[in-house]
């Protein structure tokens, strides 16, 4: 039995939409993603054997649990199929994919649908910020604090500053690249926004501070969105490829993955890593585990990255943790333009969480879908030329749960 897991394609909703304003339940969003994905992949509903849903906190945003079961409501053919919901804060989508891929590797099923979903615009910004605090240790790090997460990721910048020095202009550079890439992404939340380097660089009242060194332009978006992908065993993928007139070798697969969890509180993470060259060593292990499983030596084997830029500081951290620069020298990659779409290490061709948007439980699935488009050479204006291996990094909490996938052909 081959243990390969193939990614057949999928669908992402338009992240600029506000489903509350449209007076629609999140089921409508899930339905659009799944039915859209089935249409694009030419898969029949009756072929789906199992469904895994990634969602962070519909209990809070939508007063609804049991998200897996909503999958069954999408199509009569789904009645009876096994479902489950998986959560690890902002890494929920990746946790759902890990559960789905494990079941395929184990031979339980041949074809799974993985849906990442979050409807966040049901509440105002302050309440939403409080809800996001439940991704940290709420009682100790978030309760009674306005917008706890920008503050936590501000501290990540502070830690870099302390250990290696950090100039705000490099954070602004990261923001600029993400907004610029998003301009070309037809599903990006910010694609029509006015945003340029001058604005991102502006560190005054025109770009308000929300948490220490984190300003508005450093933040990812509050987003309603869903993404569905279909993952399959070699047996199913072979048949599916044949009916599309292509070979199994043309179908992207998950070549490697990594998954680690650090301590919850940011202060405990930093205390643990004080003698380490990496600020978040468990994130580093997540990345290198994925390389090891994929048989890739280092970042030179990765053609593009979709990373978790919940704030500019998390992408700044990702740059050296991926080994694009030595630890503490991420600024070089920004300065030299390496992370831009035409650069030697393009990061977030999609625009990432800052430009494309960050529907929390959806993000990990959206990243893998974008990676799939890249290696299929079907990413349109976002295409990284000749991309064969694309790596994702999805992070829950303040660097707590991290998951990485390498999708390649």
Residues that bind a copy of itself (CB under 8 A): 3, 25, 56-57, 59-60, 63-73, 79-89, 95, 98-99, 102-103, 105-108, 134-139, 143, 259-264, 272, 281-282, 285, 396-397, 400-401
Strand, helix or coil for residue 3: coil
Query: What DSSP character marks residue 100?
Result: H
Q: Min. distance of Cβ 76 from a copy of itself in angstroms? A: 9
Query: What DSSP character marks residue 251?
Result: S
Q: Min. distance of Cβ 242 from a copy of itself in angstroms? A: 26
Q: Min. distance of Cβ 263 from a copy of itself in angstroms? A: 6
- Rounded to 5 degrees, φ, ψ at 8 are -90, -15
Nearest to 188 by CA among 21, 18, 59, 354: 354
Query: What DSSP character marks residue 344?
Result: S
Angle subtended by helix axes 92-105 and 363-375, to nearest 10 = 60
Tokens of 178: 């993400």
When the beta carbons of 183 and 263 are compared against a copy of itself, the nearer one is: 263
Nearest to 227 by CA among 380, 391, 15, 24: 15
Q: Min. distance of Cβ 264 from a copy of itself in angstroms? A: 5
Q: Min. distance of Cβ 94 from a copy of itself in angstroms? A: 9
What is the rounded radius of gyration, in angstroms, for the C-alpha atoms of the chain?
20
Question: In what helix (H) or strand (E) does residue 407 lie, and over which residues does it extend?
Answer: strand 401-408
Dist. CA 226–CA 214, nearest whole Å = 27
Dist. CA 179–CA 182, nearest whole Å = 5
Tokens of 218: 């450093």
Strand, helix or coil for residue 193: coil
Do residues 299 and 306 make contact, with C-beta atoms less than 8 angstroms apart?
no
Nearest to 233 by CA among 385, 106, 376: 106
When the beta carbons of 30 and 341 are compared against a copy of itself, the nearer one is: 30
When the beta carbons of 65 and 198 are compared against a copy of itself, the nearer one is: 65
When the beta carbons of 228 and 382 are compared against a copy of itself, the nearer one is: 228
Which alpha helices (DSSP H) does 310-407 contain, by range?
A: 312-321, 330-335, 352-355, 363-375
Q: Min. distance of Cβ 64 from a copy of itself in angstroms? A: 5
**CB count in 10 Å sphere of residue 258:** 24
Beta bridge partners of 37: none
Q: Min. distance of Cβ 272 from a copy of itself in angstroms? A: 7
Q: Min. distance of Cβ 3 from a copy of itself in angstroms? A: 7
Residues in the chain, overall count: 409
When the beta carbons of 96 and 387 are compared against a copy of itself, the nearer one is: 96
Q: Min. distance of Cβ 133 from a copy of itself in angstroms? A: 8
């Amino acid at each position: 039995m081959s243990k390969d897991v193939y990614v057949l394609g999928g669908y992402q909703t338009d992240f600029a939409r506000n489903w509350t304003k449209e007076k629609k339940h999140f089921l409508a969003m899930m339905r659009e993603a799944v039915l859209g994905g089935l249409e694009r992949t030419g898969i029949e509903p009756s072929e789906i054997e199992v469904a895994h849903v990634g969602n962070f906190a519909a209990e809070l945003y939508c007063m609804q649990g049991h998200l897996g079961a909503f999958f069954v409501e999408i199509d009569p053919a789904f009645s009876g199929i096994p479902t489950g919901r998986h959560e690890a804060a902002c890494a929920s989508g990746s946790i759902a994919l890990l559960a789905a891929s494990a079941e395929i590797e184990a031979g339980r099923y041949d074809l799974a649908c993985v849906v990442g979903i979050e409807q966040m615009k049901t509440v105002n910004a302050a309440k939403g910020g409080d809800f996001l605090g439940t991704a940290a240790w709420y009682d100790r790090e978030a309760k009674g604090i306005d917008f706890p997460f920008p503050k936590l990721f501000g501290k990540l910048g502070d830690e870099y500053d302390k250990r290696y020095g950090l100039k705000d202009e490099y954070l602004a550079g990261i923001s600029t690249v993400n907004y610029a890439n998003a301009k070309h992404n037809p599903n990006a939340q910010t694609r029509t926004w006015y945003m340029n380097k001058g604005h991102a660089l502006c560190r005054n009242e025109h770009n308000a501070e929300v948490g220490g060194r984190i300003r508005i332009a450093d933040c990812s978006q509050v987003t309603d969105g869903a993404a569905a992908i279909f993952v399959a065993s070699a047996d199913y993928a072979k048949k599916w490829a044949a009916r599309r007139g292509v070979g199994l070798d043309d179908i992207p697969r998950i070549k490697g993955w990594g998954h680690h969890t650090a301590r919850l509180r940011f202060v405990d993470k930093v205390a643990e890593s004080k003698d380490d060259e990496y600020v978040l060593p468990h994130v580093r292990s997540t990345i290198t585990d994925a390389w090891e499983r994929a048989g890739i030596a280092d970042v030179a084997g990765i053609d593009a990255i979709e990373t978790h830029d919940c704030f500019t500081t998390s992408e700044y951290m990702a740059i050296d943790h991926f080994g694009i620069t030595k630890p503490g020298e991420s600024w070089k990659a920004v300065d030299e333009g390496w992370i831009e779409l035409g650069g030697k290490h393009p990061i977030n061709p999609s625009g990432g969480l800052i430009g494309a948007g960050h529907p929390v439980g959806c993000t990990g699935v959206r990243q893998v879908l974008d990676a799939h488009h890249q290696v299929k050479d079907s990413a349109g204006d976002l295409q990284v030329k000749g991309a064969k291996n694309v790596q994702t990094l999805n992070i829950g909490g303040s660097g707590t749960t991290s998951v990485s996938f390498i999708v390649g052909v």
